[in-house]
Structure 1
Amino acid sequence: MAHESQALRQPLTSPRLRRWIVSVVLAAICCVWIYPLLWMVSASFKSNAMIFANEGLIPSQPTVENYVKAWDQANIGAYFFNTLFVTVGSVIIVTIASAMMGYVLGRRRFPGRALIFGLIIFTLFVPQGYTIIPVFDLLTRLGIGQSLWGVMLATSGGSFVIFVLLFAGYFSQMPNELEEAAKMDGVGFVKTFWYVMLPLSKPIVVTVVVMQTLYAWNDFLLPLVITLANPAIRTLSVGVYAFRGENFVDWGGMTAASTITIVPVVILFLFLQRYFIDGLAGAVKG
């Protein structure tokens, strides 16, 4: 009986032990992964002298002077609201436009559909640096080359292609009965998309919102080029770079500004991570 009891317990103990080992290993990797973030937050409460003194993560004499200096003197407060304007605007534009295009590509069969898909995928291999000059020239011709509207419009095209493919994959797996029922009720193509299909794609919508927010909030190259002639419309990523002088780097102010930049997107992801993962899983499945 003792041998039988041990044999019954073994299959339960072994998987549990493996889970513990995997959890410990992943926890160790996580600690290494987030250490730079912890160091940045810690350094934001230190002076430059304390940072170079290498006193550890916990500051001996914490100070909020770096945050005050970054928000007021370095104009990070204004850059924060510039970034918020650009991010919110680009999220609205990209979500609606990519959802409409993804719906057509995912649900309709028409001549040239494969060619359009091929051209869309081809644009993924074009580096951003090659498109900056045409984008800037287009914004200048439209008269918004030195305004936040121009930054917002330019940012909206950065990762647009990926979102179209995500929506197309998600919409393609939806049952045809939904559209057939809408047609029987006399609902047209546009209303079917807006009132039936789009509400059902909430996970992918949240995924696009999170990804576009991360992209627009952290984009550096496009805002840097567009805001060169008008520093007042700088975004946070460009404003943080301004802490790097020719002969001196204000590490305390830079880490404080970086913390201000990162905290909002971290909070957003923590609230929406479940929908984000569901949306990616659904798009890949489709």
Structure 2
Amino acid sequence: MRRVMSTAKHGFLFVFVLITLLPLYSVLINSVKLPSDIIRTPFRITVPTLENFKHVFNPQNDILRMYMNSITITGSSLVFILILAPMAGYYIARNKSRWSSFLLILFMTGIMIPDEVTIIPLVDMFVKMGLIGKLHGMILYYAGARLAVSIFLNMKFISTIPQELEESAVMDGASQFRIFWQVLYPLLLPCTATLIVFVGMNIWNDFLMPLYLLQGTGAARTITVGIFSAIGDYSGNWGEIFAWVVAASAPILILFLTAQRFFIDGLTAGAVKG
């Protein structure tokens, strides 16, 4: 019976991995195929061509500027989040007061509100503040919009760290500021890596908000909005679209593969306290 269950489990995992990798396989092989070949044989490998990538990296598309815009927005937003979220998470985890409970509920509410609900008021606010089409406006938006989930992850991770470490530092004469940044913050490496991958990937891959708040055109375009340029009013060049998807996904995929060990540790660290 145990052998049957093990075989069934491995069979299920194999099917799950196959289903998960199928979209990635489809994108990769179709990015080096002509549109006519994609329509006829979408899942079959044919004679590869680099014409799609030549179009994507054409200087007229200014893809390097799109990369820089995406890197600037993602990196700057993460800097704000990685400074503010641990401090707020530390306060909520270590203070059992009504105020900390209120903050926890407030931030949890922020997690529950989808971005699509806030588009209209956000666009109206950005227009009044003159932030439409501005990169720093997108940085402020993401720093605020992704702060709630970042605080929650830090709070759960900090709650697993024994308070005896802080008490020992206090006995040695360390201030609260020094205890947090020199004792606790280095222990948050798995959680920090998780946020860099999880939140960074979310910001990098976002298409809807840059399309509306950056207006999706001009020098302020991000790499994901660049995919939109391969889609016409009535049809699109699927080879170029797949090439754009590969170009947009490659940096964040490399980041995930580099930090996947810390990513998994950070997600599971808050599951058990003690």
Judge same fold: TM > 0.5, yes or no. Answer: yes
How many angstroms does 1:258 deviate by? 0.1
Residue 92 of structure 1 is matched in structure 2 by 79
Kept in 2, the 8 Å contact 1:206–1:275? The answer is: yes
Aligned-residue CA RMSD in angstroms? 2.1
- SS of alignment partner, residue 157 of structure 1: helix
Write the letter of the residue equivalent to 1:214. M
Give distance in 2, aligned partners of 1:107 and 1:22: 41
Kept in 1, the 8 Å contact 2:30–2:42? The answer is: no
Kept in 1, the 8 Å contact 2:77–2:142? The answer is: yes
How many angstroms does 1:108 deviate by? 2.1
Give distance in 1, aligned partners of 2:42 and 2:117: 44
How many angstroms does 1:16 deviate by? 5.4
The counterpart of 1:275, out of the listed 250, 262, 267, is 262
CA displacement, residues 59-97 of structure 1 (integer Å, 9 cap, x when unaligned):
2x2111111111224333321221111111111111211
Residue 169 of structure 1 is matched in structure 2 by 156
TM-aligned CA distance change 1:198 to 1:40, over 3 Å: same
Kept in 1, the 8 Å contact 2:216–2:225? The answer is: no
Give distance in 2, aligned partners of 1:252 and 1:172: 49
Write the letter of the residue equivalent to 1:226. L
Residue 8 of structure 1 is matched in structure 2 by none
Aligned residues: 272
- SS of alignment partner, residue 62 of structure 1: coil
The counterpart of 1:146, out of the listed 98, 121, 133, is 133
Give distance in 1, aligned partners of 2:193 and 2:128: 34
Residue 203 of structure 1 is matched in structure 2 by 190
Matched, 1:64 2:50: yes
How many angstroms does 1:260 deviate by? 1.0
Q: Equivalences for 1:238-253 in 2 at 5 Å?
A: 238-253=225-240
Instruction: Extract unaligned runs of 5+ from structure 2.
Output: none
- SS of alignment partner, residue 124 of structure 1: helix
CA displacement, residues 163-220 of structure 1 (integer Å, 9 cap, x when unaligned):
1111111112211111111112222112111111010111111111111111111111
TM-aligned CA distance change 1:188 to 1:143, over 3 Å: farther
Q: Normalized against structure 1, the TM-score is what?
A: 0.87
Write the letter of the residue equivalent to 1:94. I
Residue 118 of structure 1 is matched in structure 2 by 105
How many angstroms does 1:29 deviate by? 2.4
Residue 213 of structure 1 is matched in structure 2 by 200
Give distance in 1, aligned partners of 2:44 and 2:169: 59
CA displacement, residues 196-246 of structure 1 (integer Å, 9 cap, x when unaligned):
101011111111111111111111121111111752111122111221111
TM-aligned CA distance change 1:29 to 1:137, over 3 Å: same
Give distance in 2, aligned partners of 1:266 and 1:125: 27
Q: Normalized against structure 2, the TM-score is what?
A: 0.91
CA displacement, residues 3-38 of structure 1 (integer Å, 9 cap, x when unaligned):
xxxxxxxxxxx6456434422331122112211211
Give distance in 2, aligned partners of 1:96 and 1:109: 22
The counterpart of 2:221, out of the listed 203, 220, 234, is 234
TM-aligned CA distance change 1:142 to 1:195, over 3 Å: farther
Matched, 1:53 2:67: no
Give distance in 1, aligned partners of 2:127 and 2:182: 37
Instruction: Extract unaligned runs of 5+ from structure 1.
Output: 1-13
Matched, 1:107 2:107: no
Give distance in 2, aligned partners of 1:105 and 1:141: 34
- SS of alignment partner, residue 230 of structure 2: coil
Q: Percent identity?
A: 30
Give distance in 2, aligned partners of 1:143 and 1:74: 26
